[in-house]
Amino acid sequence: MTRYYCISFAPFGEQLQMSRRVIARVKSHVILEKVQPKTTRTLKDLAPVLQNPEAVGPSPVYEVFIEPENNEWVNRTVIQPGYLGEEYTKTFGHYHTHPVAELYKVESGEGVLLLQKGTPDIVEEVLLVRAKAGDKILINPEYGHSWSNTGNEELVLLDNWKDGHTPSDYQPIESHAGMSYYIVDQSSKPIPIPNPIYKNLPPPHWINAVELQQ
């Protein structure tokens, strides 16, 4: 433990004022150093893509931070643990309008990555990827995707996506009330429940991060 000592020969009253000024400067420095998220998604923000739009749960549900420059990673997403009704906490879900693959790394926690190939009107394939700390996952551009935090701690994700997002990335998911499956908790296990707005859904396939890259 680091200790700080201050030696002063000023009268006690002056010493007290000096100490208060030092504390004020330290507090101000801490406030300036606090990193602000570039994106915050609250429970209200996620209501359009929930199995139960009136569900209760943690809020904000997740935040996205910008990683320092010259880092391998561009964004850091932090998803809170808990439930949104019967669903695990999750990200909104989106597609990419740019035909570029995206790389994720799970920094800490555990979760399920839902990948759906094709448009919401014609879903060709659904993959449910079990992911844990240390896993790296490359997502091809034809897959819409969403993360669910199935653990008891924050799910922290790093990604290298540099192109940003537009409303059109999220609109197909919002117009269909979420992804093709809702990941819910049943007997402490993640279970996929079909989204009834989607038609002719293929059954989901469970895989791990290593199998996805094969």
pLDDT digits (tens, 9 = 90+) for 11-31: 545 544 544 544 444 444 444
Q: What is the pTM of this model?
A: 0.82
Residue 100 pLDDT? 87
Count of domains for the chain: 2
Residue 61 exposure: Cα atoms within 13 Å on the Cβ side: 24
Low-confidence ranges of the chain (pLDDT < 50): 1-10, 12, 15-16, 18-19, 21-32
Cα 82 to Cα 46: distance, rounded to the nearest angstrom: 14
Q: Which two tokens stand for residue 201?
A: 């859904």
CA distances from 67 to 70, 77, 145, 163 (A): 9, 10, 21, 14
pLDDT tens digits, 65-87? 998 877 889 999 999 999 999 99
Residues in a beta bridge with 113 = 129, 147
Residues 170 and 191 in one domain: yes
| Residue range of the domain that includes 15 | 8-37
Backbone dihedral angles phi then psi of residue 9, each to the nearest 5 degrees = -110, 15
Residue 174 pLDDT? 97
Residue 13 pLDDT? 52
In a domain, 3, yes or no: no
Cβ(81)–Cβ(152) below 8 Å: yes
Residue 71 pLDDT? 80
- Tokens 């093709």 label which residue? 180
SS3 assignment, position 140: coil
Burial of 126 (C-beta count, 10 Å sphere; 0-12/13-18/19+): buried
Cα 3 to Cα 28: distance, rounded to the nearest angstrom: 20
Cα 185 to Cα 117: distance, rounded to the nearest angstrom: 24
Residues 14 and 116 in one domain: no
In a domain, 111, yes or no: yes
In a domain, 145, yes or no: yes
Residue 34 pLDDT? 65
